[in-house]
Amino acid sequence: MEVKELLNAYQAGERTPEGVVRDVFDRIETDGTNAWIATRDQANVLAEATELDDADLTENPLYGIPFAVKDNIDYNGLPTTAGCPAYAYEPEDHAAVVDRLIDAGAILIGKTNMDQFATGLVGTRSPYGECRNVHNEAYISGGSSSGSAVAVAREHVAFALGTDTAGSGRVPAAFNGLVGLKPTRGALSTRGVVPACADLDCVSIFAQTTDDALRVEDVAARFDPDDPYSRRLADDLELSKTCLSDITIGVPAADELEFFGDNEAAQLFDDTIDEIAAQFGEPTTVDFTPFRKTAELLYGGPWVADRLSAVGEFIETHPDEVNTTVADIIRGGKEYSAVDTFEAFDQLKTLRREAEQVLAKIDALVVPTTGTTYMIEAVQSNPIELNSNLGYYTNFVNLLDLSAVAVPTHSFDAGPSFGVTIIGEAFEDARIASIGAAIESEATRPTRSTTKPISSSSN
């Protein structure tokens, strides 16, 4: 269930979109999971697949490719819930990015589960049930784009859209053995996406390979004049893989790496760095301070008030319909004044300049996608602190207007996969994805699970 492989099979006459759609629905029906909030009527999807019989495969770059979207992204035909049934509405139009994918021949299967209002990195804050790690169901899937990651990792679909504000398109990829591409802010339109922090939100892509993720971005990335956050440079993005030579990789100084007491994660990162050194030469140690301080601003500063402006009124009028942890986080936006906001903006500008000076010396920054992983039970007992830990290496990326791709490299003994994130400047999506592909190819790739995961009572 990879984009490139399916396209090759269609071209060779070995598979048909109708057959793939039937396989998809059979797999969803028999493979019990909380990945899905809603799927389309199978007969309608099959009819859509049949219509492709008359289409030219060469003119449809995503011909017959099944995909899913996180349920804060509109599709006219299914309600948008943002992980909250009481919030549900019937969109009049598809989100702009969904329109582009369908126009390219992709076939939408349905809407996926998520941390409510895209507030969380854990995948457990949903009334539709927590999403479980595909390698060990006792562990978190990561969030907030939890269902999209699980649907791809369990090969229900070839790719899925998530959203990424604080790391929601990267953390679930890290834990489930996937590529999670977080494009440059504004490269993919967010028109038709329920906002979390509108100025920071990105539509992200989960796929099995970096090639597939770039192929999807190449279709989806366009300037949208009806989206105030869209950027004109999106039309000029070159999204084919690039040649890599004389690449300088930066890594945080040892005293700024944080694994929250998880020695296994620290060793997995060391192993990955050894593999990177064999490919690109010894990485350069860089000052991680501006990135760390920026990360602290996302939930420790006025940006949480952006979430309040998006759904605060709904939360106040429907207090019993909202996850308690989500509501408490979003209500925290009330604490910030206009003065606080402008002071934070000034601080961010200073930190951005410091980060630019670090990035000017390297071609890409490589960090653990997360410093550890957690069992669902642990997160339920300590939802705020453990969620915050997961954002140590992710929360700064959108605030600093950077591009990023998470790739799997190894696995924890208990099953969940471990990976790193490659980070570059805005509009360097193809280059950082190319570096990510090279790193992933040298690593001991986690084994994907498409059958019932193992249970564990350890850790």
Residues that are catalytic: 70, 144, 168
Bridge partners (DSSP) of residue 423 are 365, 404
Alpha carbons 236 and 223: distance in angstroms, whole number: 9
Q: Are strands 179-182 and 402-411 parallel, antiparallel or unpaired?
A: antiparallel
Lookup result for tokens 């509405």: 89
332's CB contacts (< 8 A; 6+ apart) are: 299, 304, 308
Q: Would you state the structure tokens that stand for residue 378, as one six-digit string?
A: 């642990």
- Identify the H or E element spanning 377: helix 376-381
| Matching residue, tokens 């070159």 | 238
Q: What is residue 71's three-state secondary structure?
A: coil
Would you say 192 and 98 are in contact if contact means Cβ atoms under 8 Å apart? yes
Closest C-alpha to 79, from 91, 69, 68, 67 = 91
Alpha helix ranges (H) inside 235-337? 263-280, 289-300, 304-317, 324-331
Cα separations (Å) of 364 from 202, 247, 280, 390? 20, 8, 11, 21
Q: Which two tokens stand for residue 153?
A: 């990792």
Rounded Cα distance between 394 and 384, Å, is 16
Question: Contact, 173 vs 406, CB < 8 A?
Answer: yes
CA angle 249, 252, 254 (to 5 degrees): 125
How many CA atoms does the CB half-sphere of 58 hold within 13 Å? 0
Q: Which amino acid is at 308?
A: L
What is the rounded distance in angstroms from the CA atom of residue 215 to the CA atom of residue 159? 10
